[in-house]
């Protein structure tokens, strides 16, 4: 895509996040409300919404439907956000639509995410897709995606993240996320703490049918390895699914169960079968281009990448590492955004760390390596009961951090931010033949 045009779009980020549906509604009204022509599945949550979105898109694709997928953020290329049957929007379409909406969005001061969302709406409408899966950008109630009336709404795992925008208690955060639930449209709620369930039931003034995944499914992991998980999942329709998934871990069992329940609810889409659900789960990475969720890049010594960027997600990754690589210490290449709870993330990672490598990122929202070193020192002063505490090394770039870590021939974990992964993707692809599908070279960090 034209770099100058993309930078104009990115420049809107300087105005920050502005919740509300007034601007996106005005923007779409000017072009004939393309979103009203689309059948959609809407997904909100703190963790797991990217995985659940991709699982559902893959299942629909395997069922023979021309399927759109709208996610954020991207890892490497902006085009990744908008896909049809796994293929990112072509540069020609993207350039035309971005230019169009930058122009008509001036007067109403449309934000970066509002324009991006409008681009997705019109692109999918123009392409005549059968159905699309979209995830919220932030929250739900006031998110730009919440102008649609979906076939079904899905709420994934809720935890603390972006507290300054969507609330500082679980009840407040749940209220925002559950804002995507619509009258007379079913809602699927993934495994969550009881407080989340209670809040959603209290909010259910529409008396919408709500399906709680934990009450409707049971599961058992049969075998798990760095690249594949085999499990059985049984559902309320008395179906038992034997699945093989490239998404691994207990948290992914919850995401897969959520996708299965949602698929079974979509009874009007009659081409969805037990077989297409199983096949969609198995092919989720290749069908949708889902990457950066606990992936083994090398086996010996292992290199694992994971886009976990809040404490709950990092905790799930550490638990999974303990199951697959017991008693293993890792060189951890880490950076996180300044607005994340990076201190808590580091504290979760400390027990499995040999050494922390802190590179600077080419992105102003990222932490400096100095701040991360100082945070680790603060944790060390409060550490009790452990004779060993990991040290840290600062690096100017991610390339320097990875090259030095590789020279030590020890297990490497890369975690903390999709932006960190984004900088390393081309290096991993070249150095370790990592099969990340670079569509083009318009990588600009945002």
In CATH, which of 3.40.50.300, 3.20.20.10, 3.40.50.2300, 3.40.1190.10 is domain 3-288? 3.40.1190.10
pLDDT digits (tens, 9 = 90+) for 71-113: 998 888 899 999 999 999 999 999 999 999 999 988 888 999 9
CA distance 18 to 2: 26
The confidence score (pLDDT) of residue 138 equals 84
In CATH, which of 3.90.950.10, 3.90.190.20, 1.10.287.130, 3.40.190.80 is domain 295-432? 3.90.190.20
Alpha-helical (H) ranges within 106-191 are 112-127, 163-166, 170-177
CB atoms within 10 A of CB 441: 10
> Which of these, 44, 91, 35, 38, lies nearest to 66 by C-alpha position?
38
% residues pLDDT > 90 (the chain): 76
DSSP helix/strand/coil, 361: coil
**Tokens in use for 45?**
């949550």
pLDDT digits (tens, 9 = 90+) for 198-233: 999 998 876 789 999 999 999 999 999 999 999 999
> Which of these, 198, 213, 15, 227, lies nearest to 106 by C-alpha position?
15
Rg of the chain over all Cα atoms, to the nearest angstrom? 21
pLDDT digits (tens, 9 = 90+) for 368-386: 999 999 999 999 988 765 6
Q: Where do the domains of the chain lie?
A: 3-288, 295-432
Q: How confident is the model at residue 17 (pLDDT cuts 50, 70, 90)?
A: low
pTM of the model: 0.93
Residue 440 has pLDDT above 50, yes or no: no
**Tokens in use for 99?**
């230019």
pLDDT, mean over the chain:
90
The confidence score (pLDDT) of residue 165 equals 57
**Tokens in use for 138?**
């932030």
Q: How confident is the model at residue 434 (pLDDT cuts 50, 70, 90)?
A: low
CA distance 427 to 438: 12
Q: How far is CA 70 from the centre of its chain?
A: 11
Do 228 and 222 meet the contact criterion of CB atoms below 8 Å apart? no
The stretch 296-306 carries a mean pLDDT of 94
Count, in order, helices (H) and strands (E) of the chain. Answer: 17, 17
Beta strands in 396-445 (DSSP E): 412-415
CB atoms within 10 A of CB 24: 25
Residue 438 has pLDDT above 70, yes or no: no
% residues pLDDT > 70 (the chain): 93
CA distance 196 to 255: 16
Going by C-beta distance under 8 Å and a sequence separation of 6 or more, which residues neighbour residue 312?
46, 47, 157, 159, 160
To which H or E segment does residue 349 belong? helix 342-349
The stretch 256-276 carries a mean pLDDT of 93
The confidence score (pLDDT) of residue 437 equals 54
The confidence score (pLDDT) of residue 443 equals 42
The stretch 313-331 carries a mean pLDDT of 96
Residue 441 has pLDDT above 60, yes or no: no
Sequential DSSP letters for 91-114:
HHHHHHHHHHHHHHTTTTT--HHH
């Amino acid at each position: 895509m034209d770099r100058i045009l993309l930078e104009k779009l990115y420049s809107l980020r300087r105005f920050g996040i502005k919740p509300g549906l007034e601007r996106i509604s005005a923007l779409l009204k000017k072009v004939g409300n393309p979103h009203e022509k689309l059948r959609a599945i809407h997904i909100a949550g703190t963790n797991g919404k990217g995985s659940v979105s991709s699982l559902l898109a893959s299942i629909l694709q395997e069922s023979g439907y021309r399927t759109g997928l709208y996610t954020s953020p991207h890892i490497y290329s902006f085009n990744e956000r908008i896909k049809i049957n796994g293929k990112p929007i072509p540069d020609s379409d993207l350039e035309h639509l971005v230019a169009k909406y930058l122009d008509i969005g001036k007067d109403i001061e449309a934000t970066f995410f509002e324009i991006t969302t409008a681009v997705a709406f019109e692109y999918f409408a123009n392409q005549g897709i059968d159905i699309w899966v979209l995830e919220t950008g932030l929250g739900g109630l006031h998110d730009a995606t919440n102008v649609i009336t979906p076939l079904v709404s899905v709420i994934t795992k809720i935890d603390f993240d972006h507290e300054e925008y969507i609330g500082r208690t679980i009840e407040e955060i749940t209220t925002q996320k559950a804002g995507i639930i619509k009258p007379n449209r079913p809602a699927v709620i993934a495994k969550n703490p009881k407080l989340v369930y209670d809040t959603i039931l209290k909010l259910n003034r529409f008396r919408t049918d709500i399906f709680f995944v934990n009450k409707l499914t049971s599961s058992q992991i049969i075998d798990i390895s760095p690249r594949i998980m085999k499990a059985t999942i049984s559902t309320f329709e008395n179906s038992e699914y034997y699945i093989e998934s490239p998404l691994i871990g207990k948290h992914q069992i919850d995401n897969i169960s959520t996708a299965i329940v949602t698929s079974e609810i979509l009874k009007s889409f009659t081409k969805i079968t037990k077989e297409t659900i199983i096949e969609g789960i198995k092919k989720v990475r290749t069908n949708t281009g889902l990457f950066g969720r606990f992936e083994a890049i090398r086996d010996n010594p292992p290199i694992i990448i994971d886009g976990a960027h809040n404490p709950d997600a990092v905790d799930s990754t550490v638990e999974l590492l303990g199951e697959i690589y017991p008693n293993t210490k890792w060189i951890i290449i880490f950076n996180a955004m300044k607005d994340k709870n990076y201190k808590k993330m580091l504290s979760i990672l400390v027990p499995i760390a040999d050494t922390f490598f802190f590179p600077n990122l080419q992105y102003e929202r990222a932490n400096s390596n100095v701040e991360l070193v100082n945070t680790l020192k603060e944790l060390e002063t409060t550490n009790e009961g452990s004779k060993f505490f990991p040290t840290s090394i600062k690096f100017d770039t991610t390339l320097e951090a990875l090259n030095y870590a590789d020279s030590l021939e020890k297990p490497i974990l890369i975690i903390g931010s999709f932006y960190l992964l984004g900088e390393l993707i081309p290096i991993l692809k070249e150095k370790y033949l990592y099969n990340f599908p670079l569509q083009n070279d318009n990588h600009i960090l945002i």
